[in-house]
Structure 1
Amino acid sequence: MKTADSNSPAYNDLLSSAERIKSLRELIQQNNSNLTERFHAGIPAAELIRARSDFMDELLGACWNHFLGPDAERLALIAVGGYGRRELHPHSDIDVLILLDFHGSGADQSEEPRCRQGLADFFNLLWDIGLKPAHSVRTVDECVEQARQDQTVITNLMESRLLCGSSTLFKELWARIGPEHIWPSQEFFEAKMAEQAARYAKYHDTAYNLEPNIKEGPGGLRDIQIIGWIIKRHYNVSNLNDLLLHGWLTEAEYAELTQAQHFLWQLRFALHTLTGRCEDRLLFEYQKDLARQFGYQDPDINEAVEQFMQRYFRTVMGLERLNEMLLQLFKEAALHRDEDAVILPINRYFQAVNNYIEALHPNVFREQPLALLQIFLLLQQNATLLGIRAATIRLIRQHLYLIDENFRRNPEACRLFMEILRQPGGITHQLRRMNRYGILAAYLPAFGRVVGRMQYDLFHVYTVDEHTLFVVRNLRRFALEKHRAEHPLCNEIFQIIEKPELLYIAGLMHDIAKGSGGDHSIVGAAIAEDFCQRHEIGPRDTKLVKWLVQNHLLMSMTAQRKDISDPDVIHEFATAVGDQDTLNYLYLLTVADIRATNPNLWNSWKDALLKELYLTARWAFRRGLAKPLEQQEKINAVKTESRALLRRLGISDRTIDKVWQTVNDEYFLRYLAEEIAWHTVAISACKPGDLPLVLLRPVSQRGSAEIFLYAKDQDFIFAYSTAVLDQLGLTVFDAKIVTSADGYVLNSYHVLEQTGEPIDDHLRQTQICSRLRACLLQPSCAPLRVHRREPRQIKHFTVPTQIYFHEDPQNRYSILELVATDRPGLLSKVGQAFLQCEVRLYNAKISTIGSRAEDIFYITDQQDHPLSSERQKRQLSEAIIALVGTS
């Protein structure tokens, strides 16, 4: 649509008509529709955001002239911020400044009321037609004073454009906000660096969150803008092209920067049109549509999304590199040019300039390609070095092509890389730096394939490369005394690890085959084996690394999905691990892996569960795998320990025996001694009027809160109690159901708040107990339907419901495995299905991975026998699916 000139009769007619609000709204809608159509027709967003800015210039100019006309000599309408840069996406804020001069020398003060009324009418119209401009009204003095106090204000003013009104006022403003008056270049640079650091911290110092903010996140549009602002403040230049003209960027770097900017503009424009609002977050609900818009048409839509997001992440990684290099270059060449440089030689290839390492000449890497690895080793070995000089960062990027297959097979290159992994410090920092500059991807091509690769689920919240480097970071923290309090056992075990570098290699390789097809653990093990052989790691150590990569999920799966109170499970796990040394490595890798997968995934329950599995397996090795612990031996040991605890509490043997005579041996297999002691004290003191008994202790030996129910056996208990717990916002990790010989149930649930936090508030504990007791007293009044709100992301990651039956080696139970979408009320629905099918539940292992529930239930029929017929199993499966749904 061709827009009218701000002084044209068409605008005058619209503004003078009785239906001007409706007419202007239609004009704006027509312009928006036109821009959207042109965008979908392939017109670049760079052209369209300027077209929208130009349209707003004309519209605002016409409205301004209509209401203020000749009085505008005392006023100026100024575009600031993104609008000042002529970058208006479909729903970007329209930021304007009204500059006024009502106190100028000789001014006619009688004009002021008319101006103020005209401004009020002007802004009322803009709001009436739906523009909702972000505006401020100030004098020049007020602008200068606010800019002096706040660097964000001076940043906005630096991008100002005069739209209408007094050019004299505008020029006066510009004259008074120059760096010679306020915010000189160095102060402005330091303020912007602090602002960027705070912004990065808000996003956990990573661009690779799975729902990134394309404007504010690291590597986003703001990283480009901050470069422009700093250079503009120093040189008074206007656009990115000036970076090329002043020699700050090479042609290739300028092309990379502008291509990245255009891609992010395309993405932001698409987001705004898709959502109908100013949305800068790449939320899960938009990623599939955007992947299609950007041409990713893989039959597997999740794969298409992962390819699209990999392009995004690689783009912002490149922007982060350019941002770092340019700001470092500016600091060196512009701010500290006149300072005396302290230069110290390092070796024949490098020197230190003001504590930053620098290549001695531009041909260093061409003459000695191995220096591309050596530089990172030197940074580790010289604690006074703060980083790499900008010109050398540029040289590294320009010479990545030298890392070819001959380089990778060079024994000296292999030695250097292993030296980096064997250093006592700086491993995490240098691996991150190597990844940022492209060295890791070049040296390990398999790693290069997972750079920027996301996994489209709620479990893995980082890209594969970012997750991998977090794993290595966590492993390094286990070695450091200052982090001992986080994981004392990990710190203790790390001290006896013979070769920590093997652990780092396993960490680097454990997910390196993600997205390559096939089982990533098996494919990754083959890649790890090749790496070890190439780096001359001995056969025994190679075997260990390969085993760790192939089995890196073994410990977490055993702890979370199997009954680790069962001696047979422990023996099977210990046999698979093989020896104590391998167990040490596996435990450290498992903890580091889980903690690096999702910040919200680690909790005290997982910590305690893995620790219990580690210690139990360690005892199995000490005892000898040829002599596995017999069940009766464990039962006797638990009874002895429990009785000792109770005696110390003053409980007599007679009382203990009275309580214990009604429970079978299974009870002593499935509970810890301190749990049994707690139960025994409670039951022995319980009177008939106390039933049903509901107790909660906020911290159990397994790191979670434990809720204990003691009541007359009724089939509804599991279904109703789990519904109440879910409604209360608690996450159940483990459920044990024991029925005594005299018809009482001893049910216990291990729970945490949904945030993973413990239940440490006394009123909260009282609320939980009272709600559960009320439910058990009057089940008919307790609603089975859970009304807790489903998380926003769940609908984008539904999991097909799958039910499997497994045999119990000792033929005590049927083992039902349920894989389903983790929705509110899931456990209660499963409990209802058990009730309908007359199935008894004895134990449950609850595991949630993102949106995916992987729960194990140990069940029998009403005669306490495993489900023997296929008909029984089919009926139960159908009942569960009817309640839970197919996805």
Structure 2
Amino acid sequence: MTSTDMRTEAEDSGPSGYAAARLRLLQEGARSGPPRRSALAELTDDWLTGLFDAGAEKLRGVSLVAVGGYGRGELSPRSDLDLLLLHDGGADSGAIASLADRIWYPVWDLGLDLDHSVRTPAEARKTAGEDLKVQLGLLDARHIAGDLGLTAGLRTAVLADWRNQAPKRLPELQELCAERAERQGELQYLLEPDLKEARGGLRDATALRAVAASWLADAPREGLADARKSLLDVRDALHLATGRATDRLALQEQDQVAAELGLLDADTLLRQVYEAARVVSYASDVTWREVGRVLRSRAVRPRLRAMLGGGKPAPERSPLAEGVVEQDGEVVLARAARPDRDPVLPLRAAAAAAQAGLPLSLHAVRRMAAAARPLPTPWPAEARQQLITLLGSGPSTIEVWEALEAEGLITRLLPDWERVRCRPQRNAVHIWTVDRHLIETAVRAAEFTRRVHRPDLLLVAALLHDIGKGWPGDHSVAGEIIARDVAARIGFDRTDVATLATLVRHHLLLVETATRRDLEDPATVRSVAEAVGSQGTLELLHALTEADALATGPAAWSSWRASLVADLVKRVSAALAGDDPEEPEAAAPTAEQERLAIEAFRTGGPVLALRAQTEPPAETSTEEPAEDRDPEPLGVELVIAVPDQKGVLPAVAGVLAMHRLTVRTAELRSLELPDGVPGSVLLLDWRVAAEYGSLPQAARLRADLVRALDGSLDIAGRLAERDAAYPRRRGIVAPAARVSVASAASRLATVIEVRAHDAPGLLHRIGRALESAQVRVRSAHVSTLGANAVDAFYVTGPDGSPLPGEQAASLARALEDTLRE
């Protein structure tokens, strides 16, 4: 059926005909995007015109006007209708109200959302003057039916008001956009973005149209229309996939939306959304800077003209670097600059802008993108130094980097950047896309350049450490290969190339080892020392580890992780200096441990002691030495002594989970009682932290532990009830647990590594499985990032020896089967 046939059916059959024609239009697979949005708007226009004509009868001086998105002719499948019934005040108010009812009620009857108003032109202009959102909607006013002259008069008046009031209204609009961005976040980084409200979304694209309508400034138009179209297409597909009027692209709907658009997968969809959002965000930044410049010049110009006798003052230009000057709050190219003859100019201009904390002029970036020659391979020393200066400039680096990236200069300098550009990271720990995370890491690393002897290598390693995420397989392995190529192309010598490759290959080594391995085990220290190779590389890797974690998100770093990494670095440094770690001897029990053990034996039940731990924070900047700052909490040490018996580990883990205590490490050992007292006591030394709120009282913990050990407390049932009460996202399935044996991790025990979705009682379930396998647990090292738990267990046979290979593999398989049930 053609569009003309659909409109005819809608006009002839009333609301039911319109609904049927609308449904057929939305189901047409061959028509999508702008053609479908326009056709839907035309179909709706014809239907509403019929309603208006039937109700207006002999009324004069009345018109029906579409505003907002409907006024722009951009109707998505579930968009609401923004309508204004405009009248000149001459008709009877009852007749106007009756006409409004004849239009509004059929719309409501079809279940369509309606934003409606009835006003005279004067009332509409008055409301617009009081409400910025109303004024923005009227800027897109479009005539549907009735008195065309009345609509045209309102449009002309509203546009004139907008242009006359622009110096006042545009700052209000900018503030409105900023407040919305603060609430909704940046579209280009969100895993579940709001396509309309988030920064870089459809609201911002509409704001740019309003700025252009003011004639005060205009947005960079290159790519903006395509970006807006892309976001609208995604919203159309989202409406069709969900059947709802929603703008939030939820995780569980992304695959379906991608399929609706003919895209490969959800990641391809998100990348397309991010690319569009970046275009809108960058255009917004440039436009609002131009608005500010124009408004400032208007305020200053009258005074300057009076001072200069009416002459026009020349803009001041301050030199920043060769070929680069500052003018009116922006970095521009000097008049004599020749991008076609100076291949280092883009990096020099970017470094100068970042150092000065100023934005790069759009005109300058586009001029360099159009004319700059490619750098030779390897780069000249000046180019490498300018890149390092840019990366080491702190937070101002981000805006400058984004300006270069918007015009394609970054991928021209670093072709491997294309694979990570706008690439989403699908976990709750990372708050940035891959490329933005790399820049954020460089910004964090810039704070640590005083801590290392080679700050240039630290900054470049920060920029490249995740560059392998654009390739299949282990991103550290792929990244090492790319880092070697990039470092050689940039102009580093062979030794520096090798160091950078090592840093990229092992950028996760310190934090993973510190949180998942026994630092007392010499094999742990030796393995890290062998991988790192030198004190200088260790120093750089320590700084890179912290910068990477801080740039990942708030869940990736803590004083506890910092203390573990610092301890590991200290031990590895000693090993690299020639102090070979010795096999640890069993430490003699402390006086407190002996007291707890004797008390446990005497009472025949568990005895507990809780003690808070603090430690000075790790050095993170040169502004304030660590010794001058307050100690930070590292958690709580929980020591438990229990007469040796079966089921202690799962019982303790279950009780702690019931009391919402997060376990970080756990050490277990059997302690012989002093002075010939028969029997032994199991001593458990745990590091725990409260999920939220304060710690429970030791007496309550002990009472529940007694019940857990005698079987009167159903831990599994209680934890299952709590787990069932946890909110879950519809359609989200956690990946299956994986259990592996780290065969070379220790000579003292077998290391079993568990990777699973974190849930209440996970450690309790693992403990029960290990008890069933009749192995002894020497220590447990628990690490949680977002929804993922990575736990390492040092286990031995009953005789205290590591498990034979086949027994260890069998244990891993059994544990994996248990966790997958």
Normalising TM by the smaller chain, what interval? 0.7 to 0.9
Aligned pair 1:214/2:214, yes or no?
no
Q: Residue 317 of structure 2 corresponds to which residue in structure 1? A: 344
* Residue 497 to residue 809, structure 1, CA distance change in 2 (3 Å): closer
- Inter-partner Cα distance in structure 1 for 2:8 and 2:746: 90
Aligned pair 1:842/2:778, yes or no?
yes
Q: Residue 84 of structure 1 corresponds to which residue in structure 2? A: 71
Aligned pair 1:257/2:190, yes or no?
no
Cα deviation for residue 12 of structure 1 reads 7.3
1:659-670 correspondence runs (5 A): 659=595
More divergent stretch after superposition (53-62 vs 788-797): 788-797
Deviation by residue 1:524-581 (Cα, 9 ceiling, x = unmatched): 3344344444444455444432321221111011112111243442344345434443
Given candidates 107, 113, 125, the residue that maps to 1:126 is 107
Q: Residue 370 of structure 2 corresponds to which residue in structure 1? A: 398
SS in 1 for 2:461: helix
Cα deviation for residue 325 of structure 1 reads 3.8
Cα deviation for residue 464 of structure 1 reads 1.7
- Inter-partner Cα distance in structure 1 for 2:572 and 2:700: 38
Q: Residue 785 of structure 1 corresponds to which residue in structure 2? A: 720
* Residue 53 to residue 766, structure 1, CA distance change in 2 (3 Å): farther
- Inter-partner Cα distance in structure 2 for 1:348 and 1:607: 42
* Residue 79 to residue 814, structure 1, CA distance change in 2 (3 Å): same
Cα deviation for residue 864 of structure 1 reads 5.1
Given candidates 740, 761, 782, the residue that maps to 1:804 is 740
* Residue 260 to residue 656, structure 1, CA distance change in 2 (3 Å): closer
* Residue 175 to residue 661, structure 1, CA distance change in 2 (3 Å): closer
Cα deviation for residue 589 of structure 1 reads 0.5
Cα deviation for residue 89 of structure 1 reads 0.5
Q: Residue 212 of structure 2 corresponds to which residue in structure 1? A: 231
SS in 2 for 1:225: helix
Aligned pair 1:704/2:625, yes or no?
no
Q: Residue 346 of structure 2 corresponds to which residue in structure 1? A: 372
* Residue 388 to residue 745, structure 1, CA distance change in 2 (3 Å): same
Given candidates 388, 399, 404, the residue that maps to 1:434 is 404
Q: Residue 288 of structure 1 corresponds to which residue in structure 2? A: 255
- Inter-partner Cα distance in structure 2 for 1:809 and 1:413: 43
Q: Residue 625 of structure 1 corresponds to which residue in structure 2? A: 578
Cα deviation for residue 380 of structure 1 reads 4.2
* Residue 279 to residue 205, structure 1, CA distance change in 2 (3 Å): closer
Checking the alignment, whether the CA contact within 8 Å between 2:377 and 2:489 is kept in structure 1 is no
Deviation by residue 1:353-403 (Cα, 9 ceiling, x = unmatched): 32322234598323434322221233245x3x732333223323434xx44
User: 2:408 corresponds to which letter in structure 1?
Assistant: G
SS in 2 for 1:854: strand
Cα deviation for residue 738 of structure 1 reads 3.9
Checking the alignment, whether the CA contact within 8 Å between 1:421 and 1:501 is kept in structure 2 is no
* Residue 703 to residue 27, structure 1, CA distance change in 2 (3 Å): farther
- Inter-partner Cα distance in structure 1 for 2:53 and 2:5: 12
User: 1:259 corresponds to which letter in structure 2?
Assistant: D
* Residue 629 to residue 288, structure 1, CA distance change in 2 (3 Å): same
SS in 2 for 1:366: coil
* Residue 465 to residue 843, structure 1, CA distance change in 2 (3 Å): same
* Residue 710 to residue 808, structure 1, CA distance change in 2 (3 Å): farther
User: 1:545 corresponds to which letter in structure 2?
Assistant: L
SS in 2 for 1:605: helix
- Inter-partner Cα distance in structure 1 for 2:579 and 2:9: 98
User: 1:441 corresponds to which letter in structure 2?
Assistant: T
Cα deviation for residue 778 of structure 1 reads 5.4
Given candidates 463, 471, 489, the residue that maps to 2:433 is 463
- Inter-partner Cα distance in structure 1 for 2:191 and 2:207: 24
Checking the alignment, whether the CA contact within 8 Å between 2:391 and 2:443 is kept in structure 1 is no
1:321-332 correspondence runs (5 A): 321-329=282-290
Aligned pair 1:592/2:544, yes or no?
no
Checking the alignment, whether the CA contact within 8 Å between 2:282 and 2:403 is kept in structure 1 is no
* Residue 464 to residue 177, structure 1, CA distance change in 2 (3 Å): same
Given candidates 667, 670, 691, the residue that maps to 1:736 is 667
- Inter-partner Cα distance in structure 1 for 2:556 and 2:582: 33
The size of the alignment, in residue pairs, is 782
**Percent sequence identity over matched residues?**
25
More divergent stretch after superposition (78-87 vs 278-287): 278-287
- Inter-partner Cα distance in structure 2 for 1:687 and 1:154: 81
Cα deviation for residue 321 of structure 1 reads 3.5
Q: Structure 2: which 5+ residue stretches go unaligned?
A: 302-312, 616-632, 673-678
Checking the alignment, whether the CA contact within 8 Å between 2:391 and 2:397 is kept in structure 1 is yes
- Inter-partner Cα distance in structure 2 for 1:71 and 1:335: 53
Checking the alignment, whether the CA contact within 8 Å between 1:432 and 1:469 is kept in structure 2 is no
User: 1:396 corresponds to which letter in structure 2?
Assistant: M
Aligned pair 1:94/2:81, yes or no?
yes
Checking the alignment, whether the CA contact within 8 Å between 2:188 and 2:275 is kept in structure 1 is no
SS in 2 for 1:600: helix
* Residue 266 to residue 550, structure 1, CA distance change in 2 (3 Å): same
- Inter-partner Cα distance in structure 2 for 1:731 and 1:136: 55
User: 1:473 corresponds to which letter in structure 2?
Assistant: V
* Residue 720 to residue 116, structure 1, CA distance change in 2 (3 Å): farther
- Inter-partner Cα distance in structure 1 for 2:98 and 2:699: 61
Cα deviation for residue 500 of structure 1 reads 1.4
Deviation by residue 1:830-873 (Cα, 9 ceiling, x = unmatched): 23323433444332222334554322122345565544484685
Given candidates 236, 246, 256, the residue that maps to 1:269 is 236
User: 1:34 corresponds to which letter in structure 2?
Assistant: R
Cα deviation for residue 185 of structure 1 reads 1.8
* Residue 99 to residue 831, structure 1, CA distance change in 2 (3 Å): farther
Checking the alignment, whether the CA contact within 8 Å between 2:637 and 2:688 is kept in structure 1 is yes
Given candidates 311, 328, 332, the residue that maps to 1:358 is 332
- Inter-partner Cα distance in structure 1 for 2:486 and 2:762: 44
TM-score normalised to structure 2 length: 0.82
- Inter-partner Cα distance in structure 2 for 1:48 and 1:765: 66
Given candidates 379, 386, 390, the residue that maps to 2:358 is 386
- Inter-partner Cα distance in structure 2 for 1:512 and 1:355: 34
* Residue 568 to residue 661, structure 1, CA distance change in 2 (3 Å): farther
- Inter-partner Cα distance in structure 1 for 2:291 and 2:10: 49
Checking the alignment, whether the CA contact within 8 Å between 2:607 and 2:702 is kept in structure 1 is no
Cα deviation for residue 503 of structure 1 reads 0.6
User: 1:221 corresponds to which letter in structure 2?
Assistant: L
1:676-695 correspondence runs (5 A): 688=603, 692-693=606-607
Checking the alignment, whether the CA contact within 8 Å between 1:822 and 1:848 is kept in structure 2 is yes
User: 1:395 corresponds to which letter in structure 2?
Assistant: R
- Inter-partner Cα distance in structure 2 for 1:656 and 1:881: 38
Checking the alignment, whether the CA contact within 8 Å between 2:11 and 2:18 is kept in structure 1 is no
TM-score normalised to structure 1 length: 0.76
* Residue 824 to residue 180, structure 1, CA distance change in 2 (3 Å): same
Q: Residue 444 of structure 2 corresponds to which residue in structure 1? A: 474
Cα deviation for residue 507 of structure 1 reads 0.6
- Inter-partner Cα distance in structure 1 for 2:817 and 2:377: 60
- Inter-partner Cα distance in structure 1 for 2:155 and 2:483: 61
Checking the alignment, whether the CA contact within 8 Å between 2:354 and 2:396 is kept in structure 1 is yes
Checking the alignment, whether the CA contact within 8 Å between 1:4 and 1:11 is kept in structure 2 is no
User: 1:83 corresponds to which letter in structure 2?
Assistant: Y
Cα deviation for residue 505 of structure 1 reads 0.8
1:515-534 correspondence runs (5 A): 515-517=470-472, 519-534=474-489
- Inter-partner Cα distance in structure 2 for 1:730 and 1:117: 65
Given candidates 553, 557, 564, the residue that maps to 1:602 is 557
1:130-149 correspondence runs (5 A): 130-136=111-117, 143-149=124-130
Aligned pair 1:550/2:505, yes or no?
yes
* Residue 441 to residue 312, structure 1, CA distance change in 2 (3 Å): same
Checking the alignment, whether the CA contact within 8 Å between 1:99 and 1:137 is kept in structure 2 is yes
